[in-house]
Structure 1
Amino acid sequence: MKAFFANFYRNLFLTNRLFAALGVVAVLFLLSFFLKWLGDIPLICFWVLVVVTLADIWLLYRLKKGVYCKRLAPERLSNGDDNEVNLFTENLYPFNIDLELIDEIPHQFQKRDVSFETKLSSRQQKMINYLIRPTKRGEYHFGMIRAYVKSPLGLISRRYNFEQTDILPVYPSFLQMRKYELMAISNRLNEIGIKKIRRLGNSMEFEQIRNYVAGDDLRTMNWKATARQGALMVNNYTDEKSQHVYCIIDKSRVMKMPFDGLSLLDYAINASLVLSSVALIKQDKAGLMTISDKKGATVAADRRPTQLNKILEVLYKEKTSYTETNMELLFSTVRKVMNQRSLVMFFTNFESLSALQRQLPYLKRIAKYHLLVIIFFENTGLKELSEQSATNVEGVYIKTIAEKFVYEKKLIVKELARHGIQSILTAPQNLTVNTINRYLELKAKQKI
């Protein structure tokens, strides 16, 4: 009995409508001192209010469970994307109710106002959905669902607590990966910014002999098959397959810089996952390496059906460190793991030309054995400052310094090109599109 009353007291809340009614009764009692003709009207109003309040309590507490709520969430969340969460609710009362739902979302979002108000008729079911956008990988703990119910009288509110402590892992952006997968399969990558690359020459990988169609390259004509069939026949070539494509991700302090809630490491991880997916669709072999001051994870290049899941599981656990990149260790690992010429996409960041000079000797040695593409990031904040007009001396100084750093990024691109190393300088939000464009370009030009 004691537990019942304790639970009753904790879940009983007074509404603004009740306080307004009490205020009216109090005013009537006050006026009755000056207006004798009011007589017992204030007292009658008070007891009517008490009776109605007790009736409201009886309506809400007559059933042990008057509402049902459940959270319907995906098994895992996609980092940096909008993920949909659904709240299912059902009214078990024999009358209409006003319902307020509060979902206790993970503390990483720093939001305590995820509440929804709705009206439900008797026995009605409703689905409420909302979006959450995680910006860090790891485990996200959801708390309880709290439902506040009011009857048509609306004088009190009863709270229901639904224990549903879901723990959802946040993985690299698999939603983005699926989007690019569908586009690649249906040859519609150009709809999301992927350029169509003009082929230079023919691939050397023979596919089949087929009938000549107007517009075919006459250099692919198969004269022996033409003589046998009595009709023009041409050789059909396809993209070379089983080429090794490796993504190397720098996990050092240079990748900890934030942009739009995500770190540069997270952008690199999301882009690596999408690039690996597209490479596997193109029937190439995708691999992965991570590096900081110590050797990180390594996934040998392969194109088995389980390869993408293996890469996804590895990327889920990666975190940045506050150390410098050990380029000597990277070079030795590359020589040990990559047994044949591969396309190496190295995700890192340089803020100054001197930072590049320290790593350039090792990058040149890697480029000697593999096709190396250095991918680093524009500082969008400095770029915006350099494009603003200066109105005073301080503004001129800030603009000049910003332009200096922006120009130094361009010098890094030229310095890499001078040593025969390709590079991509991109804003974080354009990283995935620019990376896939370069991969398709190199594949079309048969440089891998």
Structure 2
Amino acid sequence: MKKLFGLIYKNLFLTGRLFTGLGVCALLFLLEFFFPWLGVIPELFFWVLIILLAIDLLMLLKTSKGVFARRITPERLSNSDENELSIYIENRYAFNINVSIIDEIPVQFQKRDVWFETALKPNERKQINYMLRPTRRGEYEFGWIRVFVKSALGLIERRYNFEQTEILAVYPSFLQMRKYELMAISNRLTDIGIKKIRRIGHSLEFEQVKNYVAGDDYRTINWKATARQGNLMVNSFVDEKAQHVYCIIDKSRAMKMPFEGMSLLDYAINASLVLSNVALLKEDKAGLITVAEKIGAVVPSDSKYTQLNKILEVLYKEKTDFLETNLEALYVTARRVIKQRSLIVFFTNYESLSALQRQLPFLKRIAKFHLLLVVFFENTELRALSEQPASNVEGIYIKTIAEKFAYDKKLMVKELASHGIQSILTTPQNLTINTVNRYLEIKAKQKL
């Protein structure tokens, strides 16, 4: 009895339809004072409402397990991507019901409107899909699933609580990585903005001698093989393989700047994961180094199939520090770990020319031994300010300062180029495409 009372007290709720009926009933009793001819109509209406309420209550309480619901989630979530989740709902009542579902999603999303409504026939099953886009890596805790059930009468609502607390890890954008992977395998990278790079000459790595087909370059004809076979034969070349590609990620305070809900560090991590995957698909060796005031993770370059998982697990745990980057420690580590000439892609950010000049001596030393590519970010907010027309003196001042900072970014590119260091100045949303573009260009032009 006590358990039943607790159930009624905690999990039964009055609906708007019942309050409407009670309001009509009160109005009829009020009108009876002025219109005696209404007679027993108010009392009859009241008792009919009470009987319907009792029937509705019995219908909802006659079984303890009238509905079943559970959340269907992937093993892990992909940062900055739309991840699909589902709620499976099953009606075990013998009549039609209307259900409202609340899914208690993690607090990181700051959303309280994950509410779904649907109707179910007897023994019907449904799956409701919805999307979540995390913007931070880490652990996300999901809570309970609350299901509110109404019968066709709709006078009262019963709540079912399904405890399904679970913790999902949000990893760097592996969905984006897979998209680029499929494009690279099918040679369709141009569909997502990757440029086709015209090759100058041939790669140095010879593959085979094959029969000539229409369209082959006549300059590759192997005349000795042609004389032996009696048919035109051509030499086939492939891209050089097993070259070393290192992504170095700056974790200092400069990378904590937010853009569309994500920090610059997260954009750099997503781009590093994609670039490492593309490099492995090109049969190069991918490695990773993270740095702030101290050296963080170091993953030596390798081309094994487990290498990408190692990089993914390392990137999942990285966080932004609040001190300045120690380029001296990075140079020492690069000299110790990276033994062969390699492509080093350094993801960082400079907001002033003086910040670049402080680090330039160490960048020049690294560039003596490796092909260094510095990737830093364009401040889109400042660009938007510089493009806005000024309407007063304060607006002119703000516009001038914004244009100065934007111009400093262009000076940084020229400063790096004057010392033989390649660079990419890009917006955060175009970071991955521009980085992969430059990697493919370096491969095509045999600069490494």
- Would you say same fold, with TM above 0.5? yes
1:438 is matched with 438
What displacement does 1:388 show? 1.0
Residues 226-273 of structure 1: CA deviation (Å, up to 9, x unaligned): 121112211111000000000000000000000011100000000000
What displacement does 1:50 show? 0.9
1:351 is matched with 351
1:155 is matched with 155
Secondary structure at the counterpart of residue 34 of structure 2: coil
Matched, 1:328 2:357: no
What displacement does 1:213 show? 3.0
What displacement does 1:26 show? 0.5
Query: Which amino acid in 1 is paired with 2:101?
Result: L
Residues 365-391 of structure 1: CA deviation (Å, up to 9, x unaligned): 000000000000000000011111112
1: distance between equivalents of 2:434 and 2:114? 36
1:174 is matched with 174
1:23 is matched with 23
What displacement does 1:292 show? 0.2
Residues 40-74 of structure 1: CA deviation (Å, up to 9, x unaligned): 22112111111110110000010111111111010
1: distance between equivalents of 2:11 and 2:310? 47
Alignment of structure 1 residues 346-425 onto 2, 5 Å: 346-425=346-425
2:312 is matched with 312
2: distance between equivalents of 1:407 and 1:249? 25
**Relative to 1, partners in 2 of residues 1:53 and 1:215: Cα closer, same or farther, differing over 3 Å?**
closer
1:216 is matched with 216
Secondary structure at the counterpart of residue 241 of structure 2: coil
2: distance between equivalents of 1:42 and 1:197? 84
What displacement does 1:218 show? 3.5
Query: Which amino acid in 2 is paired with 1:70?
Result: R
What displacement does 1:10 show? 0.2
Residues 409-429 of structure 1: CA deviation (Å, up to 9, x unaligned): 000000000000000000000
Query: Which amino acid in 1 is paired with 2:409?
Result: K
2:103 is matched with 103
2: distance between equivalents of 1:45 and 1:224? 106
2: distance between equivalents of 1:38 and 1:182? 76
Matched, 1:114 2:107: no
Query: Which amino acid in 2 is paired with 1:261?
Result: G
1: distance between equivalents of 2:253 and 2:140? 25
Secondary structure at the counterpart of residue 9 of structure 2: helix
What displacement does 1:3 show? 2.8
What displacement does 1:394 show? 1.5
2:296 is matched with 296
1: distance between equivalents of 2:213 and 2:170? 50
1:337 is matched with 337
Which deviates more from structure 2 when the two are superposed, residues 384-393 or residues 182-191?
Answer: 384-393
1: distance between equivalents of 2:212 and 2:108? 61
Secondary structure at the counterpart of residue 187 of structure 1: coil
1:138 is matched with 138
Q: How many residues are treated as equivalent by the alignment?
A: 448
What displacement does 1:223 show? 2.2
Alignment of structure 1 residues 68-87 onto 2, 5 Å: 68-87=68-87
2:256 is matched with 256
1: distance between equivalents of 2:46 and 2:231? 103
What displacement does 1:216 show? 3.0
Which ranges in structure 2 are unaligned for 5 or more consecutive residues? none
What displacement does 1:404 show? 0.5
2: distance between equivalents of 1:35 and 1:7? 42
**Relative to 1, partners in 2 of residues 1:215 and 1:52: Cα closer, same or farther, differing over 3 Å?**
closer
Secondary structure at the counterpart of residue 33 of structure 1: helix
Query: Which amino acid in 1 is paired with 2:284?
Result: D
What displacement does 1:208 show? 0.4
Secondary structure at the counterpart of residue 399 of structure 2: helix
2: distance between equivalents of 1:170 and 1:295? 24
1: distance between equivalents of 2:356 and 2:436? 24
Query: Which amino acid in 2 is paired with 1:353?
Result: L
Matched, 1:190 2:187: no
Query: Which amino acid in 2 is paired with 1:51?
Result: I
2: distance between equivalents of 1:217 and 1:51? 90
Secondary structure at the counterpart of residue 4 of structure 2: helix
2: distance between equivalents of 1:397 and 1:408? 17
What displacement does 1:32 show? 1.1
Query: Which amino acid in 2 is paired with 1:4?
Result: L
Query: Which amino acid in 2 is paired with 1:171?
Result: Y
Secondary structure at the counterpart of residue 19 of structure 2: helix
Query: Which amino acid in 2 is paired with 1:77?
Result: L
2: distance between equivalents of 1:197 and 1:49? 77
1: distance between equivalents of 2:46 and 2:214? 94
User: TM-score under structure 2 normalisation?
Assistant: 0.99
2:238 is matched with 238
2: distance between equivalents of 1:25 and 1:219? 96
1: distance between equivalents of 2:129 and 2:215? 53
What displacement does 1:333 show? 0.4
Query: Which amino acid in 2 is paired with 1:428?
Result: P
1: distance between equivalents of 2:8 and 2:206? 78
What displacement does 1:437 show? 0.2
2: distance between equivalents of 1:159 and 1:25? 27
1: distance between equivalents of 2:331 and 2:323? 18
User: TM-score under structure 1 normalisation?
Assistant: 0.99
